[in-house]
Amino acid sequence: MSPKDFAAYAYLSLAWGLSFLLLLHVVDAFGWIGAVTFRCFIAGALLYAIARFTGRRLDFSVGWLPFAMVGATTVAGQLIGLSYATPRIGTAMAAIFVAAIPLFSMVIAQAWGLERITATRVVGLLLGTIGIIMLVGFPAVPVTSSFLIGCLAMVGSTFSAAFGSNYASRHLSGTGPWEVTIGSFIAGGIIALPLLWFVPVPATPAMVDYLYLVALAGLMSALTYVLYFGLVKSIGATAAISVEFVVTVVAVLVGALVLKEPLTVLQICGGLVIIVGCALVLGIVRVPQNLR
């Protein structure tokens, strides 16, 4: 991994891990569908405006279908599930589910023949799974029907993220990350927009809520997804999406330190195991030849 890719990976870990704080505010103000719809349109519009202002040439000649597919999965599918579930199951539990994305990605990439899953990566992903199990030491809310539906929503969210990332790797490998991000976010916003009829904005948002929304869309959607799709193109979908392991650690710490959700020693150890697994998936740490 190049220094540029590593810097992007580190920024994604922090930005997406901290995004749960803004997400809770935005969902509370705009509703779980409004939060996704407006976030998508603002992120896509901001990137398009920056591209036009800086003279960046954009090429959407691949057609609308690939952008619609990524917009429906990695953007709309993932964000709708995340926005619905997080207030219901808690930040830490939602983050734990997010860490399952690389596991789905590995299976999809293997099935599609996109990547060769080496023994080292398998060990890394297994360690990541063990770390997730160690992290699951509490639910932030009582186990109710709402909690269980939220968990199912997170399963759909994580699978959508993994599917869309591999789809982008397969069908948009020749398209730049700016085009992929702009096209998929606009498509995601269009897909989510009709759902506002069924889940309208609950009340008139305050001015600070709009600031939260713009920050979430600009710093933690537009910029992060440009970096993310660049990583998918550079290091592959499975390695890029393994960033979700570190996102989980950051988000669980946010839940413990900021939102006062409980965190045990076992969960801290689980976070360390996840980081080791992530390093193996990325090739930062390699299994000695005589142990394979």
Q: What is the DSSP string of 175-213?
A: S-HHHHHHHHHHHHHHHHGGGGGTS---SPPPHHHHHHH
How many CA within 13 A on the CB side of residue 220?
Answer: 22
Tell me how far apart the alpha carbons of residues 20 and 153 are, in angstroms, rounded to a whole number. Answer: 16
Each of the 292 residues of the chain gets a pLDDT tens digit; together they read: 778 888 888 899 899 888 888 999 999 999 999 999 999 999 999 999 999 999 999 999 999 999 999 999 999 999 999 999 998 888 877 887 887 787 788 778 878 877 777 777 778 778 877 877 776 555 555 678 888 898 899 989 999 998 998 898 888 888 888 999 999 999 999 999 999 999 999 999 999 999 999 999 998 899 888 888 888 878 877 778 778 778 888 887 887 778 777 666 776 787 778 777 777 776 666 655 554 4
C-alpha–C-alpha distance, residues 20 and 260, integer Å? 14
Instruction: Determine how many CB atoms are found less than 10 A away from the CB of residue 109.
Output: 25
Q: Say how far apart CA 241 and CA 262 lie, in whole Å.
A: 27
Q: Is the pTM of this model over 0.85?
A: no
Do 14 and 250 touch, CB atoms closer than 8 A?
yes
How do the domains of the chain map onto residue ranges?
3-286
Closest CA to 278 of 174, 58, 125: 125
Output the CA–CA distances (angstroms, integers) from residue 278 to 68, 206, 244, in the order listed: 30, 40, 9
Q: Which two tokens stand for residue 85?
A: 């579930």
φ/ψ region of 68 (left if φ > 0, alpha if ψ in -120 to 50, else beta) reads: alpha
